[in-house]
Every structure is written in structure tokens, then in C-alpha cells.
Amino acid sequence: MIDIFELYKNMERNNIILSFKGAITSELLSSVLQIMESKMEDLEESLKTRRKVFNVLVECLQNLYHHIDDFEIEGSPEDVARMKSAVFMIARNEGYYNVVTGNFLLTENVPKLTERITTINGFDRAELKEYYKSVLNNGEMSAKGGGGLGFIDIAKKSGEKLEFDFTEVDDTYSFFTLIVKIEQK
């Protein structure tokens, strides 16, 4: 039996105001954004903070939504459902919010993703703006129709370095964790 009170206490300790684990759908995205908008209004956050959190959350959830199907999984329906699900949390701490996402990906994609985020984290604000324009103007599109702008946009909108980690699940899959910090203004 799951100890729901222990889960509740853990969420309280970590200041989590919203958490989800499961399949990411367009309906879920709309609902989560409405819930967060309402929560931040209730918390009387400034309009600037609400916009930053909302914009980062949109980008993070769109990344999950668009990239959750980037690989085919063989196995039982339970295995497929587990590997195709994602997790995200929003925490409100003293002076900042954290948007945390996690999803499975092919381990072979870890080096490329590490390089991409490390490159983004190496830029200051002005360089990031120029890099964004460069990627936008190079005309390359991913298989999902994006130009690889998601992480750049998240870094621009948050104004912070992106924290990330990969946990190897097995020989084929890893679990990717992204933490985006957004200062309250």
C-alpha cells in the first residue's frame, strides 16, 4: 500500500505546488496551464513572474509532448506505457520557482543532448539571443517540425542556466531530468 501521507510530506518539504506523472496529451497541457495560472493568481505573484513561469512551463511541456514519441518501444503494454510517460513538477521556493521535467529517451541521444544544453549554458544573455537568431535563420527543422529552439527559448525566458541529468535505465534507455529555475520578480 502506498503511503500517501509520506508522499504528501515529501511534496511539502520540496515545496511542490503541482505534480504529474503519466502520458502527456494536448488536453493535459491546456489543463495544467489553466491550473498554474490560477495558482499563481491565488499566490498573488507579479505579472512578470507569472509570465516567465507560464512561458517556461509551456516550452517544457511542449518539449515533453513533442518528444515523448521519439522512439519505438517493444514489450508489454505496461512497459510501453511506463516508457512513454513523463513526469513534471512545479515547486515554489523562497524567491524562485523550479519547473522540473523528466522523461525517457534513447541513451544514444544523451551525448548530443548534453552537448546542446552545455552549449546553451555557455552563453551569456546577449550571446544566447544571437545563437537563437542563428538557429532560427539556419532553416534546419527537426523531424518534429521544430528548429531545436526549445532549450534556447527556455534558457532565454528563465534567464538562468539549465540544470540537467541523465540516469541510465538499461543498455537502451536513459531518464532525462531538466530543472529550470525562474526568479520571482
Query: What is residue 84's predicted lDDT score, i.e. its pLDDT?
Result: 81
| Nearest in space to 183 (alpha carbons), one of 59, 56, 62, 60 | 56
d(CA 37, CA 164): 25
What does the pLDDT read at residue 74? 75
Give the domain range for residue 141: 4-183
Check which CATH number belongs to the domain holding 129 and give it. 3.30.565.10
Q: What is the pTM for the complete model shown?
A: 0.90
Instruction: Provide the grid cell at 183.
Output: 526568479
Q: In order along the chain (185 residues), what is the average pLDDT of each group of 10 residues?
A: 89 96 90 94 94 94 82 76 88 96 94 95 95 82 62 95 96 95 94
Alpha carbon distances (Å) from 85 to 68, 96, 120, 165, 182: 7, 27, 26, 18, 25
In 3D space, the residue among 96, 108, 93, 119 whose CA is nearest the CA of residue 15 turns out to be: 93
Q: What CA–CA distance (Å, rounded) separates 86 from 80?
A: 12
User: Residue 77 has what pLDDT?
Assistant: 81
Tell me how far apart the alpha carbons of residues 131 and 148 are, in angstroms, rounded to a whole number: 11
pLDDT at position 147 is 55
Question: How many structural domains does the chain have?
Answer: 1
pLDDT of residue 98: 98
